[in-house]
Structure 1
C-alpha cells in the first residue's frame, strides 16, 4: 500500500475510534468500534516509556526518588509487615517519562486531572531529526524539518500528537550523558524552536507534543534558566510529554499514540505510560 493509501487507512481508523457517540462510523462504510478493535489488536504496539526508579535523569532542581518496601511476602523485609508486596514511592510529579499539564507553569490553567481522556489517543506524527542531532547536539527543530515531513506525508493532521525524534533517549539512564555539559557547565542537548511550535499549535492545531530530552527548550537555553518554549506550550493550555523513548521504532506517519497517566487531584504533573499502535 502506498503512502496515500496508508494515510487514508489511518485516517479512517482514527475516525472510527473517536466517533464513540455513534454506533457506526459511516465514513468507513459501516465499520463498528468492535471492527476497529479487531483491527487494532492485531497491530504492533511499541512502548514509548522509560521505567522509572531512583537515580534516573531528571531536571536539575528536583530531588531523587525515594522508594520503600512497606510489606513483603515473608517477615523481616517490609517496613510495616509481611504477607504481600507493597511499596511507597516518593518523587516529584515530573519523574521519568511524564506529563506536564498547563498548570505546571501557569496558575489557573488545567491540572493533570482536568486533561480530557479524548486527548489521550491521537494520530502520531514523528519528526525525525536524529541525524542532524548526531552532528550538532544543540540542534533545534526547524520549519524545513516540518515542511520535509509534510512533503512526504501530507499536512500534519489536526489534533495530532507531534513527537521529535532525536535518539537522545539512547543516552538513558546516564544523567551526565543526557545533560551533556561542557567544561563550563553548559548543557548541550537538542530542543524545539518557537517558530515550529507556533506553526504546529496555531496553524496545524495539534493537541500535544513530546520529546526524548528532559526539557522542551535546548540545553544552552535551560542552562540560563530559559524555559520560554515550554512556557509557550503550557500557556496555550496544551500538555506535553517529556523523556519519551523508542521513537526510532515507530514510523513518521500512520501510527496512533496513547498517552495515559494517573489522575491526581490538582496534579502538577505525573509519570505517564505512553505507547504507539503501528499501522
Structure 2
C-alpha cells in the first residue's frame, strides 16, 4: 500500500494549544516578551498586503526544548533534523493517579507496568505523560495550581523515570504541564532539576501538550513541526498524533 492510500485510513489528533496574547507563560519573562500579530505593513501600503511581526519567547505555548535551553554547550535546533519530526508515540496514562494526587511523579514502576502490558518501549520513541492537566488551559492560575499558602502543585516526572527512558533509547519526553518537574520538587530543590537532567541527557522535550486523552497509549506516531532556526534552544511547535482508525 502506498503512503497516499495509507494516509486516508488514519485519525489525527492535534496535540497543540492555540495561543494568543493572553495565553499563559512562565512568570519570569520580561515585559514585552510576547506581542503577536503586530502589523508592520498593511493593505493601505503601495504593496496592498499585510505583513505581521510575531514576538514571542521560544518557550511559549506548546513548545519544544532542546538541550541548549539549560546547558551552554547543549544541542540546538540545528542539531535535530527531520528524523526527529515523526516518532513512535508512547503514552504513560496516569491521569487517574493525578486526579487523586496533584503532586504525582511518573516512576520507573509506571514504565515497567506499561511494558508488562504492551512490550518494551522501542528505541527512538517519544514518551508522553498523560495527566489531563491540559484541560486547565488557558487558565494560568489553574495550571500553576497554588494552594492557600502560595505553594504550587502540579505533576511531573521523577529523575529515575527520565533516566530509565534514556537507558531504553528514547529521544524525547513530553507532558501537559508547564514544567518537567513536579512543582513541589522544584520548590524543594530551588531549581528545575529534572528538566535540567532531561536536557543534560540530550533528550528533547515538549511542554504543554494537549489532547493526549484522545490518543491510544500504544501504536500511534507523533509528528512535531518547528521552524528551522539554527541557533534556537526552544520553539513553539505544531504537534499531532496519527493512528489507525
TM-score between both structures, scaled by the size of structure 2: 0.92
Q: Identify the residue that residue 66 of structure 1 maps to in structure 2.
A: 35
Write the distance in 1 (CA, Å) between the matches of 2:93 and 2:26. 24
Output aligned runs, 1:10-29, within 5 Å.
none
How far did residue 180 of structure 1 move? 0.2
What residue number does 1:205 align with?
169
Q: Is 1:270 matched with 2:235?
A: yes
For the residue of structure 1 that corresponds to 2:98, the secondary structure is helix
Match of 2:89 in 1: 124
Deviations 1:27-78 (A, max 9, x none): xxxx6xxx244213421111101122212122221245112122344x4xxx
Q: Show structure 2 runs of 5+ residues with no match.
A: none
How far has the Cα of 1:143 moved from its partner? Answer: 2.2
For 2:152 and 2:164, locate their aligned partners in 1 and report how far apart those are by CA, in whole Å.
27
SS of residue in 2 equivalent to 1:125: strand
Name the one with the larger strand percent.
Answer: 2
Match of 1:171 in 2: 136
Mapped to 2, the partners of 1:52 and 1:101 lie a distance apart of: 21
Report the counterpart of residue 194 of structure 2 in structure 1: 229
Distance of 2:129 and 2:219 partners within structure 1: 15
Unaligned runs of 5+ in 1: 1-30
Q: Distance in 1 between matches of 2:6 and 2:192?
A: 41
More displaced stretch, 263-272 vs 35-44: 35-44
Change (3 A) 1:119 1:140: same
Structure-to-structure mapping, 1:235-254, within 5 angstroms: 235-254=200-219
The alignment partner of 2:10 has SS state of coil
CA distance in 2, matches of 1:104, 1:81: 41
Aligned pairs, how many?
Answer: 240
User: Is residue 2:58 matched to residue 1:93?
Assistant: yes
Look at both structures and tell me which one has the larger radius of gyration over its CA atoms.
1
2:80 equivalent among 108, 115, 118: 115
User: Greater relative contact order: 1 or 2 (C-alpha under 8 angstroms, separation 6 or more)?
Assistant: 2
Q: Alignment partner of 1:278: what SS?
A: strand
